[in-house]
Amino acid sequence: MAKVMVVDDAAFMRLRACKVLQDNGHEVVQAENGADAVRQYSEHRPDAVLLDITMPEMDGIAALKEIKKLDPGARVAMVTAMGQQAIVMEALRAGAKDFVLKPFQPDRVLGALQKLLA
């Protein structure tokens, strides 16, 4: 079982990811934007992060870079709309280990988590 932080500005999408993770026995921390994610990462030190890209205040790429400054070993997967290849490549260069496409399927979320925790 892992502690996973779910970061998305859409409450519905956060809850959806949380349900999938909690139903599979994981502990979940929620953050509603990039700045919140950085604060909560510092406080909770989750084992893995599912990080939306397009968010207000601080977007996912900026949050990823801040989280990596806090913890270079942070294990982060980006959550992105289909086809945002350029942004995904930027995230991978900035240290993201994987990405999950929206609309996401439960198996894909769990698969990404497994990859992060491997």
Partner 1 sequence: MRTEFINPFLQAATEVLGSELGSVPQRGTIGLQRSAYTSDEVTAVVAVTGGVAGMVIFAMAEQTARAVVSKMLGQDFPTFDALAQSGIAEIGNVITGRAAVLLSEAGYPSDLAPPMLVLGRDTMISTLDVQRLVIPLETEFGKIEIQVALKLAAAPARRAA
Q: Is the dihedral of CA 20, 26, 30, 35 positive or negative?
A: negative
Residue 56 within binding range of partner 1, rule CB under 8 A: yes
Residue 35: CB partners within 8 Å, gap ≥ 6? 57, 58, 63
Residue 103 within binding range of partner 1, rule CB under 8 A: yes
Contacts with partner 1 by CB under 8 A: the residue count is 17
Rounded Cα distance between 109 and 118, Å, is: 14
Residues 13-52 contacting partner 1, CB under 8 A:
13, 15-16, 19
Length of the chain: 118
Rounded Cα distance between 109 and 103, Å, is: 11
Query: Candidates 8-16, 37-45, 69-77, 88-96 — which segment interacts with partner 1 by CB under 8 A?
Result: 8-16
**By C-beta, is 82 or 118 nearer to partner 1?**
82
Residue 1 within binding range of partner 1, rule CB under 8 A: no
What is the distance of C-alpha 78 from the center of its chain? 5
Residue 89 within binding range of partner 1, rule CB under 8 A: no
Q: Where on the chain is the footprint of partner 1 (CB under 8 A)? A: 9-13, 15-16, 19, 54, 56, 81-84, 102-103, 105
